[in-house]
Amino acid sequence: MNPLQRYLAHEIATDHVDGLMTRREALRRLSLLGLGSTAAVALLAACAKDQGQSPTAKSSARPETSVAPTQPPGMANALPTAPISWTSPGGQLRGAWAQAANPKGAVLVIHENRGLNDWVRSVAGRLAGAGYCALAIDLLSEQGGTAAFTDPAEATAALAAIAPEQFTHDMNAGVAELRLRAPGQQVAVVGFCFGGGLVWQLLAAGALGVSAAVPFYGPLPPNPDFAASKAAVLGIYGALDARVTGSQSAAKAALDRAGLINQLVVEPNADHAFFNETGPRYNAVAAADAWQRLLDWLDRYLARR
């Protein structure tokens, strides 16, 4: 397994241990990733042990979820998105495009491990409402697009089967398409969970044409080298997300070695995927703070004149 595949497998195991998924469903999803039954059972047991639970016990505890009394951050001014497609060196790519009225910059949005869904489209729309043209890319384009998968677990498995280098090619093609659709604008890349890990991967590959990058709770590649990148990086983590947040010191060291402007923020009382209001770990307070930090970062490093 490559690092992103291992991350996806551990994410499934963690969801089970946290009580968000039955053991049967966790084993089904791990099998879709290619894990045999023995390896899958061992992974669930190891994850339970890491979190101080009995390896054979099903967790019924669910993480606390902060319910927002109002709309998620940025939703009030969100603009509609439209489906688009474009030709890249690797083939036809798809995405959701949101045009800002008076753009201050442009943002490529990288989805979670379920592909391009309505929530990811909403993030693009929120960014457009805040003044940034946004393109949410579908990294399952070559597999027929996310819409071709009726089972989100199969979409995750399809993403796991894609070579990491293909993701880098597609993200670079997304950046190029943004520069065509928003000429003269500086470009940022924002990603969530699996997509946050891909933002780190893109930075390690040089992130050509990217002025700012914001990975939300994304897994760090092993031994990252960001020397070829020129982006200003804002990394956002959740304090309760030990599995991913534990890599922040390594991320900081790699960013500093590369001489990149950077800031790493750990939201208190927030878990993995705290920004996604459609999920069980949503934290409204942390999401609002992270959204404002994201906009401030974009205003600082994209909207310069």
pLDDT digits (tens, 9 = 90+) for 41-59: 999 999 988 776 433 333 3
Q: At what angle do helices 37-50 and 23-32 cross, to 10 degrees?
A: 120
In terms of domains, do 196 and 129 share one? yes
- Across the range 110-127, mean pLDDT stands at 98
In a domain, 61, yes or no: no
Beta-carbon contacts of 141 under 8 Å, excluding residues fewer than 6 positions away, are 85, 91, 92, 93, 94, 95, 170
* Pick from 248, 227, 229: nearest CA to 237: 248
pLDDT tens digits, 280-299: 999 999 999 999 999 999 99
Q: How far, in Å, CA of 143 to CA of 77, rounded?
A: 33
In terms of domains, do 29 and 118 share one? no
In terms of domains, do 46 and 177 share one? no
In terms of domains, do 28 and 133 share one? no
In terms of domains, do 46 and 100 share one? no
In a domain, 68, yes or no: no
In terms of domains, do 15 and 116 share one? no
* Pick from 134, 74, 136, 135: nearest CA to 100: 134
Residue 162 binned pLDDT confidence (cut-offs 50, 70, 90)? very high
Q: How many domains are there within the chain?
A: 2
In a domain, 182, yes or no: yes
Q: How far, in Å, CA of 131 to CA of 126, rounded?
A: 9
In terms of domains, do 156 and 11 share one? no
Q: How far, in Å, CA of 249 to CA of 247, rounded?
A: 6
Q: Identify the H or E element spanning 20.
A: none
The pTM of this model reads: 0.93
Question: Is the CB of residue 134 less than 8 Å from the CB of residue 164?
Answer: no
In terms of domains, do 141 and 229 share one? yes
In a domain, 63, yes or no: no
In terms of domains, do 10 and 88 share one? no
In a domain, 207, yes or no: yes
In terms of domains, do 32 and 150 share one? no
In a domain, 251, yes or no: yes
Which range is least confidently modeled, 2-6, 76-80, 107-111, 123-127? 2-6
In a domain, 62, yes or no: no
Q: How far, in Å, CA of 209 to CA of 56, rounded?
A: 49
CATH at residue 98? 3.40.50.1820
The overall average pLDDT reported for the chain is: 92
- Across the range 32-38, mean pLDDT stands at 94
Q: How many angstroms separate the Cα of 152 from the Cα of each of 1, 114, 148, 157, 210?
A: 20, 6, 10, 9, 30
Q: Identify the H or E element spanning 111.
A: none
- In 145-303, DSSP assigns E strands to 187-192, 210-216, 232-238, 262-267
Q: How far, in Å, CA of 73 to CA of 234, rounded?
A: 18
In terms of domains, do 106 and 32 share one? no
In a domain, 65, yes or no: no
Query: Which residues span the domain enclosing 172?
Result: 82-302
In terms of domains, do 170 and 242 share one? yes
- Across the range 275-281, mean pLDDT stands at 96
Please tell me whether residue 116 adopts helix, strand or coil conformation.
Answer: coil
Q: How far, in Å, CA of 263 to CA of 72, rounded?
A: 24
